[in-house]
Amino acid sequence: MHRPEYGWNRKAPRHGAMLIMVAIVLVIILIGVVFSIDVAYMHLVRAELRTATDAAARAGAEELSRTQDESQAIAAAIAIGARNQVAGKPLELAAADIQLGGQELAVDGKFRFVPGLDPVSAVRVSGRRDATSLSGPVPLFFAKMFGQSDFRPTQVATAVTTIRDIALVLDRSGSMASSVGGGLTRLDALKDAVEAFIDEVKLTSPNAMISLSTYSTSSSRDIALTDDFNRILNSVDDLTANGLTAIGQGLLDGSFSLENDTNRRAFANKSIVVMTDGNHNTGLGPDQTVSTAVARGQTVHTITFSSGANQALMKTVADLGGGIHVHADDAAELREAFQEIARAIGVLLVE
C-alpha cells in the first residue's frame, strides 16, 4: 500500500526541475525578443539618419551652387535636416556639424573631401544623435533594463557641385496632343517645363551641357551636347505630337549622345532625363535598354506625366539607373518635376 505513494514522491523532484528549466528557457526567449525589438529599431534609426544627413548635404551643396554664399549653404543644410525625422524627432544640426570645402583626387582614384579647400565646392554634414548633439541620443525601449539606456548613431554625408553633361529624352507620341485644360496640350505643358528645367540648370549647374533626343514610333537625336540652351528650347518649341511610344529607343539615343557626341567631356558626370506621358509600346523597353546607360556610367532619372503613364515601369528604370523618379498629374506638377530633377542633377553625393 505504501509503494504507490513512494513512487509518486520519487517523481515529484523531476517534475519540479522541468518547471525550472521551462522558466529559464522562457526568460531567455523573452530577453531575445526584447533585444530584437531594440536592434530592429536601431537599424531603422540608422536608415532615417542616413536619409536626413544625405538630404541636408544635398541641400547645402545646391544652395552653395545657386548663391555662392557659404552662410546660406549652412542655413539650407540645417533647414532640410530639421525637416527630416530621426527616431520621431527632427534632426537638429548645429553650424559646427557642417563643413565647407572641396574635393581632390586621392591616389586610390577616389575623390576625398578637403575642409577649407578653395574654391569651395562641397558640403559635408555630420548627422549625430549623441549626447552632445542638439537632438540628443536615441532612447531605447528595453535595453535600459540591462544597463543600456540609449543609442548614439552618427552618419556623414558629403555632396559636391560638379560639371554635368545632361541628355534630355522627351516624349512626342500621339498622346502628348491630349488636353490639359485652358486650350493647352500636354506638349504645351512639356515645353513650359523644359524651359523651367533649363533655368534651374543654369542656376545649379552653370557649366552644364545638354543634348536633346525625342521619340514617338521611332527616336531621333535632335541636338548634340551644347551650352547653347536656346537651340534646345527652339527645337522643343517645334515638336509635334504623333505616333507610338518607343521609350527604350529614346533612352538609347540619349545615352549615345553622352557617350559619343563630339562635345562630350570625359570627366563630366553624365545624367539622362527621360520623360513620358504614357506606356512603352514599341521596340525594346526602357527597363532593357537602361543597362547600356548604366554600363557607360550614366545616371538615369525619369518623369511620368498624367494618370495614364506607366509609373511602375519608369520607377523601375530610375532605380536600375541609379536616379530618381518623379510623377506629375498636371502641368504645374510637371514644371515642378523638371525643376526637382534639375536640382538633383546639380549635386553629387561622394561620401
Q: Where are the domains of the chain?
A: 24-160, 164-349
CATH superfamily of 164-349: von Willebrand factor, type A domain (3.40.50.410)
pLDDT value at 226 more than 80:
yes
CA distance 299 to 318: 8
Give Cα separations from 192 to 212, 239, 244, 274 (angstroms).
Answer: 15, 13, 23, 16
- Name which residue leads in pLDDT, 279 or 6: 279
Q: How far is CA 58 from CA 61, 83, 165, 337, in A?
A: 5, 13, 19, 17
pTM for the model stands at 0.62
Q: Is 66's pLDDT higher than 90?
A: no
Strands 89-90 and 85-86 come out as: antiparallel
pLDDT digits (tens, 9 = 90+) for 291-341: 999 999 999 999 999 999 999 999 999 999 999 999 999 999 999 999 999
Whether the CB-CB separation of 53 and 157 falls below 8 Å is answered with: yes
DSSP 230: H
CA–CA separation, 39 and 59 (whole Å): 30
User: Listing from the earlier edge strand, what are the strands of the sheet with 111-115?
Assistant: 111-115, 98-105, 122-128, 154-161, 347-349
All cell numbers assigned to 38: 531594440
